[in-house]
Each structure stands twice: as structure tokens, then as C-alpha cells.
């Protein structure tokens, strides 16, 4: 069994968020931290795609580079992928690339 410690992150939540998580605990027996741990993976693919988009942008200043951080800073109501598509309509997501390989006949 590994004795290596997992990285930890401390989150600061507003009162309303904490109240909702605490009230949910009464019904689910999941602590607020456990609920956050359950919800985060649902957004992980989206965060990875957001990172991929940033990393594939050409180096140097651009409108996409200057506006891109706002997609996460002002997250919602759109998801990050929708925001990327608004900033960069030609961007093809990893999911779209993979789906294309499934529908493209092999030679």
C-alpha cells in the first residue's frame, strides 16, 4: 500500500454554496467535500479541452488568448466548449476529432 500523500486543495465557498452542500449532506450522507469530489470529474473533460485549446493557439498576442481566460473566470451559463467555439469557430475538439475517426471509412 502506498504511503504517498495525495495532493490537497482547499476551497473557499460562499455561504450559499456551503449551505446547499451542508443541507444535501442530510439527505445523501455525503460531506460537502465528498459532493465536490463527485461533481468535479463531470467537468474534468471540459477543463482538459480548454487546456488543449490554449496550448494549440499560435504563440504571441491574439484575441483568443486575451479573451480565453474570461471563459473560466466568468464560467456559465455556457460551458467552456461553447465559449471556445464562440471565440474560435474553426476549433475542432478532441471529441469531434475522435468521432470523425469512427465515421470515416478506412482505406
Residue 42: pLDDT band (50, 70, 90) is: confident
Beta strands in 1-107 (DSSP E): none
Asked whether residue 20 is assigned to any structural domain, the reply reads yes
> Average pLDDT for residues 34-38, to the nearest whole number?
92
9 within a domain of the structure (yes/no): no
Q: What is the pLDDT of residue 49?
A: 93
Alpha-carbon 104 to chain mean position: 28
Task: Give pLDDT tens digits for 69-79.
Answer: 998 898 877 88
Name 93's Cβ contacts closer than 8 Å, sequence gap at least 6. 49, 81, 84
For residue 76, the enclosing domain spans 15-103
The candidate with the shortest Cα–Cα distance to 22, out of 77, 44, 14, is 14
Domain assignment present for residue 86? The answer is yes
Q: How many domains does the chain have?
A: 1
* Residue 79 located in a structural domain: yes
% helix / strand / coil in the chain, to the nearest 5? Answer: 65, 0, 35
Amino acid at each position: 500500500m502506498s504511503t504517498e500523500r495525495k495532493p490537497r486543495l482547499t476551497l473557499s465557498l460562499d455561504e450559499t454554496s456551503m449551505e446547499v452542500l451542508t443541507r444535501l449532506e442530510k439527505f445523501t450522507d455525503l460531506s460537502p467535500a465528498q459532493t465536490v469530489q463527485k461533481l468535479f470529474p463531470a467537468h474534468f473533460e471540459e477543463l482538459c479541452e480548454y487546456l488543449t485549446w490554449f496550448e494549440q493557439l499560435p504563440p504571441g498576442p491574439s484575441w483568443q488568448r486575451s479573451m480565453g481566460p474570461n471563459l473560466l473566470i466568468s464560467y456559465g451559463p455556457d460551458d467552456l466548449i461553447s465559449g471556445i467555439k464562440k471565440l474560435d469557430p474553426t476549433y475542432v475538439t478532441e471529441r469531434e476529432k475522435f468521432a470523425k475517426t469512427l465515421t470515416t471509412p478506412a482505406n
